[in-house]
Amino acid sequence: MRREIHSNTSIKIIAALDVAATLAVEHIGVTYNLSVFHPAILGTVAGATYVLLKHGDVISHHLVNMPEYVEEAFKKYPLSGGPR
């Protein structure tokens, strides 16, 4: 059964994903000694934020309902070797 999520919950998920993406890009920038104003850093952060703002409701809906998607996938494509 698909769960509907409240818009405030969706905003919290989007914000957490945005922070995680920004920190990951910042870590890559520090690792390779890139400036904060390097086009790759700015483009990646801006692109991730744009995608999360534009498609955040769909992304958060899929994340919340992921256990059901995984269960359906295992029913459709069972792993070999174990009891089912």
Residues 41 and 62: their CA atoms lie apart, in Å, by 27
Output the pLDDT for position 70: 84
pTM: 0.77
Q: What is the pLDDT of residues 6-36, one digit of tens each?
A: 889 999 999 999 999 999 999 999 999 999 8
The torsion angles phi and psi of 72, rounded to 5 degrees, stand at -65, -40
Q: What is the pLDDT of residues 30-78, one digit of tens each?
A: 999 999 899 999 999 999 999 999 999 999 988 988 888 888 888 888 7
Residues 13 and 57: their CA atoms lie apart, in Å, by 9
Output the pLDDT for position 78: 79
- For residue 33 the two structure tokens come to 């000694």
Contact criterion met (CB below 8 Å) for 59 and 14: yes
The length of the chain in residues reads: 84
Output the pLDDT for position 3: 78
